[in-house]
Amino acid sequence: MTRPSPFSVRGRRALTIMRDERDIAIVRRQLNRLGMTVTEHDPAEPPGADEAVDIIVLDADSVPIKSEPASVWTFNVPIIALIGTETPSRLKWLLDLQPASFLIKPLRSAGLYTALVVAFDAAQRRIEDAAHVAKLESRIRSRRVVFAAVLQVMRAHALCEEDAFALIRETAMRHRTTIEQLCAEIIAAGGMPNRSSRTA
């Protein structure tokens, strides 16, 4: 699957959660110039989880942090945070929010495209990192299954570890399955499963 380019923003959908009319006008104008569609939302309450957007531009100063934890404002899309207040409590809330990028207020006409590129790239990297971690965790679980299956085959056939693993590998290749899948079947069956019906 081709990795989407963070530089390509035309046609993407942005949700702005802002209160200041001047900032709203600047962001809307820049996003429209970049070919993005813009939807606006009142910062008095979090938007619904069903919002079909690609990125959120959130004025962090507009959100009542005492009443709303950052997790309520966390979505499965990158967030660009607009920051004007640098108090410890506000910054703590922002760290919990984990924005993909940010802009310092007062806003200017420049800088939004850079924030978009950084946000889309950071979001894609998070997705790739999460997939990599999930793959590693799956491998760890698989190794436990393989180890348990090798022990079973060693006991059942009086083989050494190397020969037991070789038998499992050869059987898996012969029946066109993965070692992990065959090992799971060995654990479930309590020994080498009957695969006579499979194509050799």
Counting beta carbons within 10 angstroms of the beta carbon of residue 138, is it exposed (0 to 12), middle (13 to 18) or buried (19 or more)? exposed
pLDDT score, position 142:
83
> Quick one: the chain helix, strand, coil %, rounded to 5?
50, 10, 40
For helices 112-157 and 161-174, give the axis angle rounded to 10 degrees. Answer: 110
Residuewise pLDDT in 10s, the chain (200 residues)? 567 787 889 999 999 999 999 999 999 999 999 999 999 998 877 777 667 899 999 998 888 776 566 777 777 889 999 999 888 988 888 888 889 999 999 998 889 999 999 999 998 988 888 888 888 888 888 888 999 999 999 999 999 999 999 999 999 999 899 998 999 999 998 888 876 544 33
Closest by Cα among 57, 112, 106, 61 to 87: 61
Two tokens, residue 116: 């978009």
